[in-house]
């Protein structure tokens, strides 16, 4: 049977696209793997939201407006997309050398959208200056907890997007601790703004949905700034260095 976790955020794509085929195949790579925060929704939201962004640019459309036009039947996706764009002042001028990216996805009973404001230095290092999050988790039982989880999700997701690479050598994982598998540190952490959309629906999850749309928001901003598409994670400075 199909592994539902593996196709999450792909098989349930919200966009009004008439013909979609999602396939899954199990393959043993010889390396044991397990769940991580947001499971399949993480990599699949990155794939879907990166490709939708490519479609928007190929069509000559604004990435926010392009998504919005394709979410006519997905009221809650559209709601968080619009809220995140509004709170991030989407379309307003930015300081030189910065750009915004946007992404939206469903996971674990909730709907989330992120807008990331990003710069890239000549050596290819990425700096995230601001992240705006909109979350529709139905009735927010404890709004402070919702905000805390979304903020933590951004830190977790940026850690993975910027640093989270595991390498195998002689059958073993090379990385052993934070000296060679770093976390996002406080001097690199951006301000995170969380906006809760009260849809009046039943409560959804908040532990997982803060992760999937962060990486594509960042990489879509990188494309808007540099014209270079990031199609693998983590983001590597070598792929963005100005030679």
Q: What is the pLDDT of residue 186?
A: 95
> Would you give the end-to-end CA distance of the chain in angstroms?
47
Q: How far apart are CA 9 and CA 104, in angstroms?
A: 10
Task: Find, among 13, 1, 8, 14, the residue nearest to 35 by Cα.
Answer: 8
Q: What is the pLDDT of residue 27?
A: 86
Q: What is the pLDDT of residue 171?
A: 86
Q: Which two tokens stand for residue 170?
A: 């002689």
* Cα-to-chain-centroid distance, residue 114: 7
DSSP notation for the chain: ---TTTTTTTTT--S--S-----------SS-----TTTHHHHHHHHHHHHHHHHHHHTT--HHHHHHHT-TT-HHHHHHHHHHHHHTTTTS---TT-EEEEEEEEETTEEEEEEEEEEE-TT--EEEEEEEEEEE-SS-S-HHHHHHHHHHHHHHHHHHHHH----EETTEES--STTTSPPPPTTTPPPEEEEE----------SSTTSTTHHHHHHHHHHHHHS----SSS--HHHH---
Q: Which residues, 6+ apart, have CB-to-CB distance to 173 below 8 Å?
A: 166, 167
Q: What is the pLDDT along the chain (243 residues), one digit of tens a residue?
A: 788 999 999 999 999 998 999 999 888 888 888 888 999 999 999 999 999 999 999 999 999 999 999 999 999 999 999 999 999 999 999 999 999 999 999 999 999 999 999 999 999 999 999 999 999 999 999 999 999 999 999 999 999 999 999 999 998 999 999 999 999 999 999 999 999 999 999 999 999 999 999 999 999 999 999 999 999 999 999 999 987
Q: What is the pLDDT of residue 26?
A: 86
Q: How far apart are CA 220 and CA 40, in angstroms?
A: 20
Q: How far is CA 205 from CA 38, 48, 62, 81, 111, in A?
A: 10, 21, 30, 18, 9
């Amino acid at each position: 049977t199909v592994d539902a976790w593996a196709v999450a955020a792909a098989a349930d794509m919200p966009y009004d696209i008439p013909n979609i085929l999602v396939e899954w195949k199990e393959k043993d790579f010889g390396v044991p793997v397990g769940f991580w925060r947001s499971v399949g929704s993480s990599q699949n939201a990155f794939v879907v939201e990166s490709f939708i962004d490519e479609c928007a640019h190929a069509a000559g459309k604004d990435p926010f407006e392009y998504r919005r036009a394709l979410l006519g039947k997905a009221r809650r996706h559209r709601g968080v997309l619009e809220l995140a764009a509004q709170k991030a002042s989407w379309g307003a001028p930015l300081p030189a050398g910065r750009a915004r990216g946007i992404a939206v996805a469903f996971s674990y009973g909730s709907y989330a959208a992120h807008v990331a404001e990003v710069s890239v230095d000549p050596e290819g290092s990425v700096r995230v200056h601001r992240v705006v999050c909109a979350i529709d988790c139905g009735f927010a039982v404890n709004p402070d907890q919702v905000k805390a989880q979304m903020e933590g999700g951004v830190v977790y997701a940026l850690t993975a997007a910027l640093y989270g690479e595991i390498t195998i050598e002689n059958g073993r994982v090379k990385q052993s601790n934070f000296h060679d598998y770093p976390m996002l540190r406080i001097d690199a952490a951006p301000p995170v703004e969380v906006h809760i959309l009260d849809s009046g629906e039943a409560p959804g999850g908040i532990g997982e949905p803060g992760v999937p749309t962060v990486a594509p928001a960042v990489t879509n901003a990188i494309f808007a700034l540099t014209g270079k598409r990031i199609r693998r994670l983590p983001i590597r400075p070598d792929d963005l260095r100005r030679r």
